[in-house]
Amino acid sequence: MKKRYLMLALALVLLAGCKKTWVAKVGSVEVTEKDLQDRMKVSEIYYPNSGKRYIALSQLVQGYLDEEVLKQLGYKVDESTWEAESKRIDENTKAPDVLKKLKAVYSLDHAGYIKTFIRPVYGERYLYNEVFLKVPEIHKEQRAKAEKFIQQAAAKPEAFKELAQKMGLKAGELKVSEKEGIQPMEESERKKALEPEGRPPEPAGLEQAKFMIDKVKGLEDGKVLSEIIEWQEGYQILRLVRKETGVPAQEGKAHLLEPPKMHPSPEGAVNAGEEGEVYIIQSVSIPKRDYDEWFWSYAAKIPINIVDKALKAELLKEVGWTSKLKLE
């Protein structure tokens, strides 16, 4: 009898040991109820009335998917990575009061702070900014299309627009000046009609304008810039139609297509043209690969296990992108 009780006690211990201590698992990352509670408080700071379990879980799933994709791609993701990210945030935050509130959520629980705040922040930031935007291999098809177009346009610059149309691209003309920035002609003319007499239109894209002027100011009229300009989210090919020296920017005449509103790659200095110069430039922009399409080509393969059935049902009902998850 004594032996029977011992065997029963052992079975209960083993059963308790097999019981899951987590409510969800994203790849190799376990999410506990405490993790959800911590993240709910974080969400409430950013978005009042958003402190719900399914919202917290969706944020953690997204963050840990970013992390798991980084691992798939061979990037180092460990304690030293997260501590470095924590230090970066401390040194560069533009919202110290918000950061103070976030840290108060965790009090002395540094491990919790790292797991449910720092790791999701790091995963999202690094995967998009440092991998997706900067790895040429990801955008090789789009880059190849830009290279094919620039070769054809350089050989026959007068057919710039027609060549773009044949490749399924949209070409248009930009009016660019240091004073007025980049002004789409249709928009510029519309603004002039609405503005009180004598008031110049509001400048747009001044930094972009200076960057582009520096690139094309040495070109002969009608020539195509020999290099492809790479912006954060796309490629741009330029052809200088003409330069109008000494003409006030608002008086230039052109039909134009505004380029993507992005920051240029940090290469080289920018020296703008003389004030009053207006550059009429033909432009073709080719967007880089779509981030969501690229991300889910990896993330959709990562197994997700949610043991809380009610939480799982609410998550799937309320969060659209969860239909792409590989649920077990």
pLDDT band at 14 (very low <50, low <70, confident <90, very high): very low
16-20, 73-77, 140-144, 257-261: least confident range: 257-261
The pLDDT of residue 3: 54
142-156, 182-196, 302-316: least confident range: 182-196
Indicate if the pLDDT at residue 273 is higher than 60: no
Give the count of beta carbons closer than 10 Å to the beta carbon of residue 169.
16
150 with 271, same domain?
yes
How far does CA 21 lie from the centroid of its chain? Answer: 35
The pLDDT of residue 203: 59
- What share of the chain has pLDDT > 70, as a percent? 78
- Secondary element (H or E) of residue 157: none
80 with 165, same domain?
no
For range 100-111, the mean pLDDT: 96
The pLDDT of residue 5: 52
167 with 283, same domain?
yes
124 with 149, same domain?
no
250: amino acid identity, one letter: Q
Is 92 a domain residue? yes
DSSP assignment string, 259-305: PPS-PBPS-S------TT-EEEEEEEEEE---HHHHHHHHHTTSEEE
Q: Name the percent of the chain in helix, strand, coil, to the closest 5.
A: 55, 15, 30
Indicate if the pLDDT at residue 251 is higher than 50: no
The pLDDT of residue 93: 95
User: Among the three residues 272, 287, 302, which one is the final residue of a domain in this structure?
Assistant: 287
For range 230-251, the mean pLDDT: 80
The pLDDT of residue 183: 77
Torsions phi, psi of 31, nearest 5? -110, 120
Is 51 a domain residue? yes
Indicate if the pLDDT at residue 200 is higher than 60: no
pLDDT band at 205 (very low <50, low <70, confident <90, very high): confident
Are 250 and 188 in contact by the 8 Å Cβ rule? The answer is yes
- Pairwise CA distance, residues 132 & 245, whole Å: 40
Give 124-149 pLDDT, tens digit per residue: 999 999 999 999 999 999 999 999 99
- Pairwise CA distance, residues 135 & 137, whole Å: 6
The pLDDT of residue 191: 55
239 with 269, same domain?
yes
224 with 306, same domain?
no
Is 249 a domain residue? yes
115 with 193, same domain?
no
The pLDDT of residue 91: 97
Spell out the residues 6+ positions from residue 257 whose beta carbon is closer than 8 angstroms to its own: 170, 171, 172, 173, 174, 184, 283, 285
The position carrying tokens 């008031």 is 199
- Pairwise CA distance, residues 143 & 93, whole Å: 34
Is 7 a domain residue? no
The pLDDT of residue 317: 97
- Secondary element (H or E) of residue 173: strand 171-177
Hey, what's the torsion of the CAs at 89, 95, 99, 101, to 10 degrees? 180
Is 317 a domain residue? yes
Is 83 a domain residue? yes
Q: Give the chain's mean pLDDT.
A: 86
The pLDDT of residue 204: 61
Is 128 a domain residue? yes
- Pairwise CA distance, residues 261 & 49, whole Å: 33
Give 35-94 pLDDT, tens digit per residue: 999 999 999 999 999 999 999 999 999 999 999 999 999 999 999 999 999 999 999 999
Are 307 and 23 in contact by the 8 Å Cβ rule? The answer is yes
Indicate if the pLDDT at residue 192 is higher than 80: no
Domain span at residue 158? 140-287
The position carrying tokens 């040429």 is 136
178 with 118, same domain?
no
Give the count of beta carbons closer than 10 Å to the beta carbon of residue 326.
12
For range 99-111, the mean pLDDT: 97
Q: What is the pTM of this model?
A: 0.78
75 with 57, same domain?
yes
313 with 256, same domain?
no
314 with 263, same domain?
no
116 with 234, same domain?
no
pLDDT band at 267 (very low <50, low <70, confident <90, very high): very low
Question: Looking at the 3D structure of the chain, how many domains does it have?
Answer: 2
Is 63 a domain residue? yes
